[in-house]
């Protein structure tokens, strides 16, 4: 899927960020439409069916969270959230409402393009309706078909829960998953309020996967929100 065919809708009221998005995205071949309020955004989304919607959480006429909730009643493609710093609870709420990822303001072009590449890959995977059986991230290989995990060609032995945690992150690689999402998928709905499970197993998983568990290159913490399996190993 080439960037030239990707149509974006940004629902954002800040003129400075509107200009930044226009300059950054049009230069990289995306087609961008902007709505300055939630109601306009919902109308344009329904009218033009964009490939990805970017939603600012602070909008003049309604909450960005309400926009996401309303969009998710029918819109199945990726939603990327723009949020102010130190508003972790908003990010978690947005992700739990069905947003795919978020960017914290201020953000750079590189970060924006990286998030859009992840969104595009998930868009393509949804369209193909098939998941990738073998995932390679640098030296890390996760084979979802055979349940094998290797780093630098060496098998890594995981417990069933460690494997399920890694596989869940791998199926959404590049994308942040909330604590609640991971607890629900790995341990089940009864355990969504048990974040310590996650901390303990994430620590164990890092000790097996990462060369330096204290400086993870694959299993990244999103403070106050959740975890992300890096799309490519982060520079140590």
Residues found near Ca ion in the complex (CB under 5 A): 13-14, 56, 58
Least Cβ distance, residue 87 to Ca ion (angstroms): 12
Q: What does the DSSP 8-state code read for residue 58?
A: B
For 107-207, list the strands marked E by DSSP: 134-137, 140-143, 148-151, 154-155, 176-178
Q: How many residues does the chain have?
A: 236
Q: To the nearest whole angstrom, how small is the minimum distance from the Cβ of residue 17 to Ca ion?
A: 8
Output the residue with the shortest Cβ distance to Ca ion: 58
Minimum CB–partner distance for residue 13 and Ca ion (Å): 5
Q: How far is the CB of 192 from Ca ion (least distance, A)?
A: 30
Distance CA 100, CA 72 (A): 11
* CA end-to-end span of the chain: 31
Distance between alpha carbon 183 and the CA centroid of its chain, in Å?
A: 17
Cβ proximity to Ca ion, 14 vs 231, nearer residue: 14
The CA-atom distances, in angstroms, between 188 and each of 56, 175, 184, 194 are 31, 20, 4, 11
Min dist CB 105 to Ca ion, Å, is 9
Q: State the Cα–Cα distance between residues 107 and 122, nearest whole angstrom.
A: 22
Q: Closer to Ca ion by CB, 59 or 123: give it.
A: 59
The SS3 of residue 41 is helix
CB of 23 to Ca ion, least distance (A): 18
Backbone angles phi, psi at 178, to 5 degrees: -70, 160
Structure tokens at 217: 């290159």
Q: Which is nearer to Ca ion, 13 or 185 (CB)?
A: 13
Query: Cα separations (Å) of 104 from 48, 73, 82?
Result: 26, 25, 6
Q: Which is nearer to Ca ion, 55 or 229 (CB)?
A: 55
Closer residue to Ca ion, CB minimum distance, 22 or 125: 22
> By C-beta, is 17 or 170 nearer to Ca ion?
17
């Amino acid at each position: 899927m080439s960037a030239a065919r990707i149509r974006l809708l940004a629902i954002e009221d800040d003129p400075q960020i509107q200009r930044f998005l226009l300059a950054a995205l049009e230069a990289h071949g995306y087609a961008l439409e902007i709505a300055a309020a939630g109601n306009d955004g919902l109308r344009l989304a329904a009218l033009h069916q964009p490939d990805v919607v970017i939603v600012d959480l602070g909008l003049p006429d309604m909450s960005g969270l309400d926009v996401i909730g309303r969009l998710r009643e029918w819109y199945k493609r990726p939603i990327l959230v723009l949020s102010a710093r130190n508003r972790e609870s908003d990010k978690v709420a947005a992700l739990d409402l069905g947003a795919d990822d978020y960017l914290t303001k201020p953000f750079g072009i590189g970060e924006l393009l990286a998030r859009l590449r992840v969104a595009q890959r998930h868009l393509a995977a949804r369209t193909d309706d098939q998941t990738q059986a073998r995932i390679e991230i640098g030296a890390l290989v996760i084979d979802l078909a055979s349940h094998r995990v290797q780093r630098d060609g060496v098998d890594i032995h995981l417990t069933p829960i460690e494997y399920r945690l890694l596989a869940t992150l791998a199926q959404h690689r590049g994308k942040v998953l909330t604590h609640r999402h991971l607890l629900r998928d790995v341990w089940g709905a009864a355990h969504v309020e048990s974040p310590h499970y996650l901390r303990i197993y994430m620590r164990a998983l890092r000790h097996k996967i990462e060369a330096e568990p204290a400086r993870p290159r694959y299993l990244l913490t999103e403070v106050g929100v959740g975890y992300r399996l890096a799309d490519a190993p982060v520079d140590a």
